[in-house]
Amino acid sequence: MSRTSEIKFVELEIESAAFTGVGVARLDNLVYFVKGAVPGDIVKARIIKKKKKHCEAVIEEIIVPSAHRIEPICSHFGICGGCSWQNLDYSQQIFWKRQHVIDSFQRIAGLNVETYNETVPSERQFFFRNKMEFSFGDSRWLTDEEIQSESEIHNKNFALGLHIAGRFDKILDIQECYIQPEFGNKILNLIRNKALEFDVKAYNLKSHNGFLRNLIIRSSLYSSEMMIILLTDEIKEESDKKFLNWYYEEFSKEMPENISVLHSFHTGFSPVYFGDYIIIKGKDYLIEEIDGIKFRISPFSFFQTNSYQLNKFIKYIVNSADITSDSIVWDLYCGAGSITLPASKRAKEIFGFEISESSIKDANTNKEMNNIENANFYSIDLHSKEISSKLKEFPEPVRIIIDPPRAGMHKNLIQVIKEIAPPKIVYVSCNPTTQARDCAELSEIFEVKSVTPFDMFPQTYHIESIAVLERKLRQSYDKNL
């Protein structure tokens, strides 16, 4: 086979999985990233983009399937971008997640880590998410079969489901999602069918026409309760009024007693919303429990999405911090206190810092609900130029727990941590590349003793990673603690 720049197809053996979930192959000094391929596949791939050192490709034909390839259970697999690894055996999913973490620390950051622990697997691989946010759309994603069919296409101007990857304007109509609780699928289909029956229009983000915007379904493992939040624009048509009437009256009455029903008018142009709501039935919060601490979860607040893994995850973080009864602890990017409050049971005093005032409000609510007195929460921008002087107002910690957003820490904060130089840091991250980068910045003073991948997101390439850092034994950093 001639391998020139005009070649559109190439036979490849998939060697590994990239951090983005695609298969990786190498041929003639080129790296190929093949969507939908899994390690061990031999495929005929169609090249869709060629660069100087790599190509992007899609599978044209699977010549020899990998021993690790399995049949996805979801009919939307390959179209919906949510579960890109449903075709990969779970033991291999957690293997490659660990490898991605190792690659980040070794190849990207150039760090020597004493121990890379095995990935802690999720108790459940399906039906584990406690929150799903579905979108309504007036431009339904059409399957290849529909496009090629000569039959009339129905409901092409209405969908309730998930966005197609990279397309904010296209919604894949979802009948069944295998990562949310099974009862959530009943709710999803019931609301879709009624919207079609009343001929209610989905909201369009460009024209700002339409009524239905989002459907959020939340659940609690601890209390076995659910919360349904319907987000709509203002009423414009008679059909909008009829649908909303049905939602307030019949739908809410049909729901079991353990399900709360809420409605929110979202009339702004922004797709992100954290506003007021109406309680139609039940209450406006759920209760979840972590290590004996109860947490109140409001309709739009952030909370880890895998409740089945959460207790194990938080306990591991707290145990790794090695907190004692005389420890002063800082929890940076504390959110609603999901790490801070369990850690408070072991500490003398703990301080949680977070820029979001609503999260701090939730954290204080959770603190009061559990009668905890040694946890303190403050709304502070941890990336500001003044962060050093702001944090110096608080007692100096002997332990720091860090759980930043995907982008990692700002250099201003890293400098403060280096100046304080506590004996131990536990760095939690959902992005091992930025975590490794930050650990490299800290490596002048700290060494990474261990890294433990935690699978909170089965069927995807995403991974949580817990790194334990200890201060190097140098006289200049020794504060005789």
As annotated, the active-site residues are 430
Joined together, the tokens standing for residue 185 give: 């699928």
Q: Strands, E, within 65-200: which ranges?
A: 115-116, 131-137, 159-164, 167-173
Q: Name which of 293, 341, 352, 351 is nearest 318 in CA terms.
A: 341
Joined together, the tokens standing for residue 340 give: 């801070």
Longest dimension (CA), the chain: 79
| Nearest-angstrom CA–CA distance, 276 and 299 | 10
| Nearest-angstrom CA–CA distance, 235 and 244 | 9
Q: Are the C-beta atoms of 213 and 231 separated by less than 8 Å?
A: yes
Q: Are the C-beta atoms of 107 and 134 separated by less than 8 Å?
A: no
> What are the residues facing 167 on neighbouring strands?
164
Query: For the chain, what is the total number of helices (H) and then of strands (E)?
Result: 11, 23
| Nearest-angstrom CA–CA distance, 71 and 25 | 22
Q: What type of residue sits at position 398? A: V
What Rg value do the Cα atoms of the chain yield, rounded? 25
What distance lies between CA 279 and its chain's CA centroid?
27
For 240-266, letters b (16+ CB in 10 Å) and e give: beebbebbbeebbeebeeebbbbbbbb
Joined together, the tokens standing for residue 477 give: 């950093």
- The dihedrals phi and psi of 88, each to the nearest 5 degrees, come to -120, 130
Sheet holding 115-116, edge to edge: 115-116, 446-454, 464-471, 424-429, 399-402, 328-332, 349-354, 375-379
| Nearest-angstrom CA–CA distance, 451 and 113 | 7
Q: Name which of 55, 50, 53, 51 is nearest 35 in CA terms.
A: 55
> What are the residues facing 61 on neighbouring strands?
44
Residue for token pair 């729901």: 255
